[in-house]
């Protein structure tokens, strides 16, 4: 029993880590542009399919596949998806958040339906960097009983990656010149211009970085579940939005904690209830938390969103 | 006292439109070396529009703006604002003065960081100079700037502008929303900055008396056009100044 709970806990933390990475990427764009990028899930989906594309082309024409090189390919494709979304659906809207939101939804549907056509709507098997191996943390494998707790190397990879990604984001935003520019733009575009920041470039950089993070989430999700499909982005985007809003806009570390919390709530509701109750608990929890603190758990009091 | 070669900023026949509405037209003014110039006028006269057009924050529909530094004279109308900042023009906006979610220190840091790129020692040294000049900011250096009082925020905005080691500074209504007791302090501070650091200024201001106390020359705007201009002392005594404010 303990072993089962622990296993569910690890699964929860690992999937929560994916939600956290998605929310961090959304947070970056919401922070800089005050816009919810509804095409964020498309970058995620393109990133996850980039891996498959690399392996497919490599296997078919060169007889060569490599998971890690494929990841690089996926991330580059996600990065360019971000730039494409900025160029076609964000920049032409000239800062009007409502138009931007609709245009990014449009981009999301175009990209996702394009991939649906290309893959004929079938879920695709996902490669793994290594076969999952389980390590015993607690108890004895020969004598399982109540106390056997195991963790797989895939889960360790997921949890590790999410911590690295969030720490990397915090470092980027607080320590690098480019990151500082993004933070200044998020607080006042006018001041940013006056102190010598190229605002257009900062926004492009923001979209590129955010989309690359989405690509990471897409690849990790594929690895976790062993498959991916063309509408995966839309489904995960909603979870990312929940995490972003519950954590509070503008707080990167908050996204990590809330993402993991959401993952655990989901896996526990599956463990003790039924899988159909999963979304009931996650979205219901969001509503309750927002009644208590409309600006999110880690957000600044009063900063709900400028989008009202 | 001065000839045309001393001109730092020269605005000629500038026009600003918002759609079909003309906010300001036929604006010509200049700022010379060693001067504080005030651009005065009642609410809605178009002062801030002129300033924003000079800074490239809005696009002027007509006219030219020239800026002269040691390298020569440059046409700056139509130039991106951040490129002007890199030429040594500091701009202190009036409504959004500070970056509220950054500490006082970080506000100062970003004032120099994007202009001197990787030269962080220079930025840090300049920051210490600024904190000496503004002791209140030094006391609050770790505090989030959104929690400062209005007067402190205004000081921080000016200090952040000075981080760029500018030759020329544009200030949009520095007195906006400040308690009267802080006004004198603020304007004395601006005069000291000009005298100590040799930063020339164009100040857009509603508080006529205070602005004229420190300005060398003044332009008075009325309903989107410059009504008259002259040395600050003459403007202060002019009947036309009263007319501009009270209507006639």
Q: What is the pLDDT of residues A179-237, one digit of tens each?
A: 889 888 888 888 998 899 998 898 899 899 999 999 999 998 898 888 888 888 888 99
**Number of independent structural domains in chain A:** 1
pLDDT of res. A223: 87
pLDDT tens digits along A99-116: 888 999 999 999 989 989
- Cβ-defined contact of A180 to B110 (cutoff 8 Å): yes
Which CATH number belongs to the domain containing residue B16 in this structure? 3.40.50.300
Cα A163 to chain centroid distance, Å, stands at 13
Summarised one tens digit per residue, pLDDT across range B62-87 is 889 999 888 888 888 888 888 888 88
Asked whether residue B193 is assigned to any structural domain, the reply reads no
Query: Residue A153: pLDDT above 60?
Result: yes
pTM for the model: 0.81
pLDDT(A304) > 60: no
- Kindly tell me if the per-residue pLDDT of A78 is higher than 90: yes
Residue B239 and residue B211 in one domain: yes
Q: Is residue A306 part of a domain?
A: no
A38 close to A292: Cβ distance less than 8 angstroms: no
Q: Are residues B172 and B246 in the same domain?
A: yes
**How far is C-alpha A25 from the chain's CA centre?**
7
Answer whether residue B194 is part of any domain: no
Q: Which of A191, A195, A250 sits opposite B96 (nearest CB)?
A: A191
Cα–Cα–Cα angle for B231, B235, B241, nearest 5°?
A: 155
Joined together, the tokens standing for residue A103 give 């245009």
Q: In angstroms, what separates the C-alpha of A148 from chain B's closest C-alpha?
A: 47
Quote the domain boundaries for residue B100. 89-165
Distance in angstroms (rounded) separating the CA atoms of residues A40 and A46: 10
pLDDT of residue A210: 92
Residue (of A27, A12, A34) closest to A244 by Cα position: A27
Write down the pLDDT at residue A306: 45
Are residue B107 and residue B211 in the same domain, yes or no? no
Question: Same domain for B134 and B105?
Answer: yes
Contact assessment for residue B84 and residue B56, using Cβ atoms and an 8 Å cutoff: yes
Is residue A169 assigned to a domain? yes
| Closest CA of chain B from A109, distance in Å | 35
| Interatomic CA distance for residues A242 and A236, integer angstroms | 10
According to DSSP, the residues that pair with A149 across neighbouring strands are A138
B55 lies in the same domain as B173: yes
CATH number, domain with residue A192: 1.10.3470
Decide if B31 is inside a domain.
yes
Instruction: Output the CA–CA distances (angstroms, integers) from residue B19 to A167, A189, B202, in the order listed.
Output: 46, 22, 27
pLDDT digits (tens, 9 = 90+) for B116-140: 877 888 999 999 999 998 888 999 9
Tell me how many domains chain B contains. 2
- Do B126 and B240 share a domain, yes or no? no
Q: How far is the C-alpha of A236 from the C-alpha of A16, rounded, in Å?
A: 11
- Average confidence (pLDDT) over A236-263: 85
Please identify which residue in the block is written with the tokens 């007067």: B151
List the single best residue of A194, A203, A250, A251 to mutate versus B (max B Cβ within 10 A).
Answer: A194
Among B86, B92, B93, the residue with its CB nearest the CB of A196 is: B86
Q: Is A137 part of a structural domain of the chain?
A: no
Give yes or no: residues B94 and B132 share one domain. yes
Decide: residue B90, CB within 10 A, 0-12 exposed, 13-18 middle, 19+ buried: buried
Instruction: Enter the ipTM.
Output: 0.85
Structural domain of A243: 2-131+156-292
* Within-domain flag for B145: yes
Alpha-carbon dihedral A75, A80, A82, A85, rounded to 10 degrees: -150
């Amino acid at each position: 029993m303990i072993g089962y709970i622990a296993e569910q806990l690890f699964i929860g933390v690992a999937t929560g880590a994916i939600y956290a990475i998605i929310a961090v990427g959304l947070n970056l764009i919401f922070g800089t542009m005050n816009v919810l990028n509804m095409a964020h899930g498309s970058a995620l989906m393109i990133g996850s399919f980039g891996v498959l594309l690399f392996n497919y082309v490599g296997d078919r024409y060169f007889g060569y596949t490599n998971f890690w090189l494929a990841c690089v390919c996926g991330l580059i494709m996600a990065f360019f998806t971000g730039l494409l979304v900025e160029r076609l659906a964000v920049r032409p809207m000239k800062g009007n958040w409502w138009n931007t939101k609709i245009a990014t939804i449009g981009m999301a549907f175009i990209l996702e339906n394009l991939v649906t056509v290309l893959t004929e709507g079938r879920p695709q098997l996902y490669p793994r960097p290594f076969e999952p191996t389980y390590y015993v943390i607690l108890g004895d494998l020969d004598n399982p009983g109540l106390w056997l707790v195991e963790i797989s190397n895939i889960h360790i990879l997921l949890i590790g990656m999410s911590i690295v990604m969030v720490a990397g984001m915090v470092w980027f935003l607080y320590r690098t010149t480019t990151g500082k520019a993004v933070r200044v733009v998020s607080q006042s575009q006018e001041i940013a211009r006056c102190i010598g920041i190229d605002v257009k470039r900062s926004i492009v950089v923001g979209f590129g970085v955010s989309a690359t993070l989405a690509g990471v989430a897409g690849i990790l999700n594929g690895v976790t579940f062993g498959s991916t499909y063309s509408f995966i982005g839309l489904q995960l985007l909603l979870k990312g939005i929940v995490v972003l809003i519950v954590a509070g806009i503008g707080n990167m570390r908050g996204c990590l904690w809330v993402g993991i919390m959401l993952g655990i709530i989901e896996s526990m509701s599956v463990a003790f209830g039924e899988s159909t109750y999963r979304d009931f608990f996650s979205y219901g929890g969001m509503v309750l938390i927002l009644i208590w603190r409309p600006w999110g758990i880690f957000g600044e009091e009063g900063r709900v969103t400028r989008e009202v | 006292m001065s000839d045309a070669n001393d001109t730092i900023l020269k605005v000629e026949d500038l026009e600003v439109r918002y759609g079909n509405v003309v906010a300001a037209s036929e604006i010509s003014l200049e700022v010379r070396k060693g001067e504080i110039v005030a651009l005065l006028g009642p609410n809605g006269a178009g002062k801030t529009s002129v300033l924003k057009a000079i800074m490239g924050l809005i696009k002027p529909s007509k006219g030219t703006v020239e800026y002269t530094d040691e390298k020569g004279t440059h046409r700056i109308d139509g130039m991106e604002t951040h490129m002007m900042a890199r030429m040594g023009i500091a701009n202190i906006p009036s409504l959004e003065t500070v970056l509220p979610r950054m500490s006082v220190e970080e506000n100062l840091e970003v004032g120099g960081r994007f202009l001197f790129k990787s030269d962080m020692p220079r930025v840090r040294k300049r920051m210490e100079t600024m904190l000496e000049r503004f002791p209140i900011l030094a006391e609050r250096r770790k505090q989030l700037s959104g929690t400062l009082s209005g007067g402190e925020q205004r000081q921080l905005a000016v200090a952040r502008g000075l981080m760029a080691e500018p030759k020329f500074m544009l200030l949009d209504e520095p007195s906006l929303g400040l308690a009267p007791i802080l006004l004198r302090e603020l304007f004395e501070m601006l005069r000291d900055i000009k005298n100590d650091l040799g930063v020339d200024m164009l100040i857009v201001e509603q508080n006529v008396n205070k602005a004229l106390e420190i300005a060398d020359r003044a332009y008075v705007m009325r309903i989107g056009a410059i009504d008259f201009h002259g040395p600050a002392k003459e403007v202060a005594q002019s009947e036309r100044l009263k007319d501009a404010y009270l209507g006639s």
